[in-house]
Chain A
Amino acid sequence: MHHSIELYDIHVKLGDVTVLSGVSVEAKPYEFVSLVGGNGTGKTTLLKVANGMLRPFKGIVKMVGHELWQGANGNNGVRKEIGFVPQRSVSRHFPMRVDEAVLMGRYGKIGLMRKPSRQDWDRTHEALEIVGMTGFAAKLIHELSGGEQQKVALARALAQEPSILLLDEPTTYLDADSQSEIMETIHRMHQERGLTTLLVTHDPHWVEQYSNKVYLLKEGKSHLIRQKA
């Protein structure tokens, strides 16, 4: 499969405000690409476009070699290949165990009206082990700290066995130790599983350390500001 991210000439309006006006970002298979820029420059919006949560009014969104927006609601087959870690995990009271929250990553692949198999649970426990959360499996998700919840979000994305990983400032609300732990796990997964990764971040440290390519978003446009040879 062609594990690439291809976003060409993306235009997005939120209400009357044009957030993106001709943004193009490309990540070749197995690349680690970072997206930087100030607040309100449309980084999260672009990630939502890449994930099929938001439909651009103009532009091409090709993920894993397929057009994402086929039909009114987008292509769910493509979405199943995209792991997504949001900026902040749900911390409100919701009665769900940690292992159930991770298993959710498998739901798209399991299919409608089917129960999770032994294999799905095995993938779930493997993902929990990778992020070092095996001992938390039976805890309730809202009982965890912000850093632990973020690890669960990462485990959910890994349990999905995606080809592409999209990360929306995954360390924003974490302390320095948790930030390092999460970013090291992300980088290890990127390398071991050969995931094409698109990271939205404010932190120049991680950008410098891991990225093959860096795009800057400014005034609705994208600029390739660094590319490793």
Chain B
Amino acid sequence: MSWIGSLSFPFMQHALVGVLFAGIAFPLIGVFIISLNLIPLRFAMMHVALLGGAIGLFIHFDPMLMGLLLCALSALALGPLSEKTKIGLGTISGYFMTLTLALSFILFYKGKINVIQAFSILWGNIFALTAWDLVIIGVVSLFVLCIIFLFFKEIQAILYDREIALAVGIPEKSLYYLIVFMLGLTIAVSMRMIGALLVDAFVLLPAMAAGMIARSLKQSFILSSFFGLVSGMSGLYLSFRFDMPASSTIILVASFIIALSMLFGRRFTRA
């Protein structure tokens, strides 16, 4: 079957729409993760999303929605909790990560959830997206885009230096919590699309490539969206063309873009 012909199938149309939204919006979160060094938090959120999925499977509720809810709640709690307890976000993220992983496996065991079902949370399936999934992906994507558009200058100051942002009179804490919240939502949605272990394909890799070339934060955001879209769309096409797993192919393309950015990035930034 040809690529064009495959587009008549709803699963393929859903995958394309999902990649379109996620490819544009999710790499923007990667820019936050890199600039604010939120790698441990991203790990924690991936495991929280996994626990959400496990709870969903355990109580026979939509795993993606449950993951989303749990990530949203954790994201709201993590920032203030780390401030109150004076424990760094990295440390408290480590605590969340191990706790949620342990709880997930208990639920898998007690719920007698079969291994394939459990692993569907870890690996995701871009071709299994439902119309309802697309609505959630679309809403989260638009939310991320709107926040960045509305608060661009404040976000720029926070990513540059949180202390300076606070010192010039920006409500730094509230906006930082909002960033953590967006990160939680994005990770939860990405988990459904591409799986908890491969979230970086949409979130981190395009932002890493953009960071090697960009000369302004605006460029970082635009390039990371562009790279996310290119790797998502071409990964999807190549996976179909050569009969390979979509998630892995998307990651391969994103990694190739990073390699190109490494090669040519320095040349651009010297210009």
Report A's interface with B, CB cutoff 8 A. Answer: 15, 51-53, 73, 76-77, 79-80, 82, 84, 86, 90, 93-97, 100-101, 104-110, 112-113, 115-116, 140, 156, 160
Contacts and interface: CB of A to CB of B under 8 A. Distances in A.
Contacts of B160: 90, 94, 96, 101, 104
B239 interface: no
A146 to B, nearest CB: 15
Interface stretch (B19-27, B104-112, B135-143, B147-155): B147-155
Contacts of A100: 156, 216
Contact of A84 (B35, B167, B215, B216): B167
5 contacts: A73-B171, A82-B167, A84-B167, A104-B157, A116-B153
B167 A107 contact: no
A73 B174 contact: yes
B151 A113 contact: yes
Given A52-B166, A86-B164, A95 B171 contact: no
B86 interface: yes
A96 B161 contact: no
Contacts of B150: 113
A95 B217 CA distance: 6
A95 B86 contact: no
Nearest to B220: A95
Contacts of A51: 167
A100 B156 CA distance: 9
A90 B161 contact: yes
A140 B270 CA distance: 11
A140 B214 CA distance: 11
A107 B170 contact: yes
A107 B169 contact: yes
Contacts of B217: 95-96
B42 to A, nearest CB: 19
A99 to B, nearest CB: 11
Nearest to A85: B167
A114 to B, nearest CB: 8
B168 A94 contact: no
Given A95-B215, A96-B216, A140-B215, A112 B171 contact: yes
A115 B168 CA distance: 16
Contact of B214 (A53, A95, A112): A95
Given A95-B215, A95-B219, A77 B169 contact: yes
B148 to A, nearest CB: 12
Given A94-B35, A110-B153, A15 B163 contact: no
B164 A76 contact: no
